[in-house]
Structure 1
Amino acid sequence: MAMSQIKGDSGEIQLVVFRLGAEEYGVPITQVQEINRLLTPTKIPQAPSFVEGIINLRGKIIPIIDLKKRFGLVQEEHTANTRIIVVNVERHTVGIIVDAVTEVLRMPQSAIEPPPPMISTISSDYLTGVGKVDERLLILLDLDKILTEREKAELQARPL
């Protein structure tokens, strides 16, 4: 997703900020449907390792992705702060498991730098940029690239 797609009229973007381990990440609020406490997903046989399973969210079945597994980050126990952020990824609704949702903030476009080749262990393929908020750095994720085209097709075609 191009940065211009998430930019507001005022040259600002509004982000939902969450933690994975020690790092802070941001995703455009326009892609976030809701934020829920962690529900126990129903496992799907032969799903990719980062797909925790599926949940029934008010009659709609959605896959749940563990972002730490997707990015190859160190796994930790889930806590009372663990959340599922329900997001739109292209034409798909998925839930992503994060350690904690910390805030919603507006960021001027001028505070966003292009992504460096690699941050932590996350490939720049998943990033739209890095935002500077005071002394903090927010890693801005491109949710449309969280799943490959093949994985999107598999999830769509999988009988639930």
Structure 2
Amino acid sequence: MEQYLIFRLADEYYGLLVSFIENIEKMMPITRVPNTKEYIKGVVNLRGEIVPVIDLREKIGVKKEEFGEETRILIVNWKNEFKVGLIIDEVLDVVYLTKEDFDSATRDRNEFTFSIAKYNNMLINIINLEDVLFEKVEEV
């Protein structure tokens, strides 16, 4: 049993292991960085630390929307190596999911999610953070 943060992107539900999440911030001014990919919104100054920010909707191909009152930036810490902010539409809940909550038929579903979990009446796409943070290099 592991703890997941459940959040919304457009009209879909996603989950991310709580162990990756350092904190959750309200939207704040983002400084654009020239010549970066469209989904990289820029950087924020988080209590004296410069943190890059990714719009998770754009990165994983979810319908684009304006940022709203519930929009948040999840500050994730990748193996104590670096921090990244992920813009999401709304934080919904923190839940425990067991192996039985996961649908084994959906393993390796797409490049950014690795499974689907069922919780209450929701289907939750479980985010593969490694694939979100790192570009795959095609071998020739």
TM-score normalised by the chain length of structure 1: 0.78
Give the unaligned 5+ runs of structure 1: 1-11, 119-123, 152-160
Question: Which deviates further from its counterpart, 83-92 or 57-66?
Answer: 83-92
Between the aligned partners of 2:69 and 2:28, the Cα distance in structure 1 is: 11
Report the 3-state secondary structure (helix = DSSP H, G, I; strand = E; otherwise coil) of the residue aligned with 1:146.
Answer: helix
Between the aligned partners of 1:149 and 1:25, the Cα distance in structure 2 is: 20
Which of 97, 122, 135 pairs up with 2:121? 135
Which of 58, 80, 87 pairs up with 1:97? 87
Shift of 1:149: 4.8
Higher helix share: 1
Number of aligned residues = 135
Which of 5, 19, 29 pairs up with 2:18? 29
Shift of 1:116: 5.5
Deviations for 1:67-88, whole angstroms, at most 9, x for unmatched residues?
1111222211111100000012
Distance 1:33 1:117, change over 3 A: closer
| Identity within the alignment, % | 29
Between the aligned partners of 1:82 and 1:105, the Cα distance in structure 2 is: 20
Shift of 1:113: 1.9
Matching of residues 1-160 of structure 1 within 5 Å: 12-90=1-79, 91-114=81-104, 115=106, 118=109, 124-149=110-135
Letter in 2 for 1:112: F
Report the 3-state secondary structure (helix = DSSP H, G, I; strand = E; otherwise coil) of the residue aligned with 2:111.
Answer: helix
Between the aligned partners of 2:67 and 2:86, the Cα distance in structure 1 is: 13
Letter in 2 for 1:26: G
Aligned-CA RMSD value: 1.8
Distance 1:117 1:150, change over 3 A: closer
TM-score normalised by the chain length of structure 2: 0.89
CA contact (8 A) 2:107 2:114 kept: no
Between the aligned partners of 2:111 and 2:54, the Cα distance in structure 1 is: 17
Q: State the partner residue of 1:155.
A: none
Report the 3-state secondary structure (helix = DSSP H, G, I; strand = E; otherwise coil) of the residue aligned with 2:125.
Answer: strand
Between the aligned partners of 1:138 and 1:49, the Cα distance in structure 2 is: 26
Letter in 1 for 2:115: G
Report the 3-state secondary structure (helix = DSSP H, G, I; strand = E; otherwise coil) of the residue aligned with 1:40.
Answer: coil
Runs of 4+ in 1 over 6 A off after TM superposition: none
Give the unaligned 5+ runs of structure 2: none
